[in-house]
Structure 1
Amino acid sequence: MNRPIKRLLGRRELVDFPAFELGGIEAKVDTGAYTSALHCSNIHIETDAQQRPQLVVHLLDPGHEGTDGRLLTFSEFALRDIRSSNGEVQERYVIRAVVQLYGQDFETDFSLSDRSDMKYPVLLGRSLLRQGRFVVDVSKRNLSYKSLARAAARRAQR
């Protein structure tokens, strides 16, 4: 029986969000978290011209490389109970977004929260890790980006 190939991730990875035009954002791989998380601030609901609710956020912030803290608006979102790292249950908005690892797109849920007091603006949780069939080696870092860089170097040598 053929088993699916599992890719290796380090404890920290650089990820891309093509829909947000963001690349090389540092993410913490967290096997203890179920849902992935994305740092946003000024998270609030507005209504559009047709009186439909819209989720409006400042994505990341100017302090994080590669972003300008721009406003993003989402028409599809959910409000869910998420258990934080300290065990408290918090109501958070959740969106679906595409994150790239190893040059491949993975669509997964991201809870939106203010992670300004955290070192990493993105957290990758188990639901994404299972979907991508990843194994985590905590002694490694940035394996996805390093793999893409090696592949690009091989192509350039041809």
Structure 2
Amino acid sequence: MSPVRSYNRLLGRRELVDFPEFDLHGIEAKVDTGAYTSAIHCTDIHIETRQGRPRLLVRLLDPGHEGADGKPLAFAEFNLRDIRSSNGEVQERYVIRARVRLYGEDFEAEFSLSDRSDMKYPVLLGRSLLRQGRFVVDVSRRNLSHKALARAAARRSRG
């Protein structure tokens, strides 16, 4: 008999996530079990060559978004991949690896980069990240990771 996988983390349909390497905290994310790859909103996506090496430059989030300083971020490691959008259309998108923090733990995941300004949430968390973190989604709930961390901090301060 094979062992039963233990799922000890629950996510709601929406979560507040952190991207520690970008110094972005409390970013609203939609948990999407229909999407394989996670996605993050960015603009001004272009390739620049420096010293003979291509670099991907982007601006994460919109300038008005809390924590977004408008400075371009550069990535030396990236790839271009066909990604199927929510409407079934296949688009070529740049994909990077980034750390996202949930329940105080960092998970490295692939994020496709696209202009999500017409979407309600700037970040989408897809199945590959959910599987990696062994998360189960309860669509009737929200911000479970953030709430759990806030409860733990309150318990520590009471002492």
Normalised by the length of structure 1, the TM-score is 0.96
Secondary structure in structure 2 of the residue aligned to 1:153: helix
Deviation readout 1:25-53 (Å, 9 max, x if unpaired): 000000000000000101000001x2100
Q: CA deviation at 1:68?
A: 2.3
Q: CA deviation at 1:2?
A: 6.2
Structure 2 residue runs of 5 or longer lacking an equivalent are none
Deviation readout 1:46-86 (Å, 9 max, x if unpaired): 001x2100000011111322212321000000000000000
The question of whether the paired residues in 1 share the 8 Å contact of 2:17 and 2:29 is answered with: yes
Count of residue pairs the alignment pairs up:
157
Counterpart residue identity of residue 13, structure 2: R
Q: Distance in 2 between matches of 1:3 and 1:134?
A: 11
Deviation readout 1:6-38 (Å, 9 max, x if unpaired): 311000000000000000000000000000000
Map 1:1-158; keep pairs closer than 5 Å.
Answer: 1=3, 3-48=5-50, 50-158=51-159
Q: Distance in 1 between matches of 2:27 and 2:7?
A: 25
Instruction: Spell out structure 1 runs of 4+ moving beyond 6 A.
Output: none
Q: Distance in 2 between matches of 1:59 and 1:128?
A: 19
Deviation readout 1:112-155 (Å, 9 max, x if unpaired): 00000101000000000000000101111100000000000011
Normalised by the length of structure 2, the TM-score is 0.96
Q: CA deviation at 1:5?
A: 3.4
Q: Distance in 2 between matches of 1:148 and 1:7?
A: 13
Q: Distance in 2 between matches of 1:92 and 1:107?
A: 19
Structure 1 residue runs of 5 or longer lacking an equivalent are none
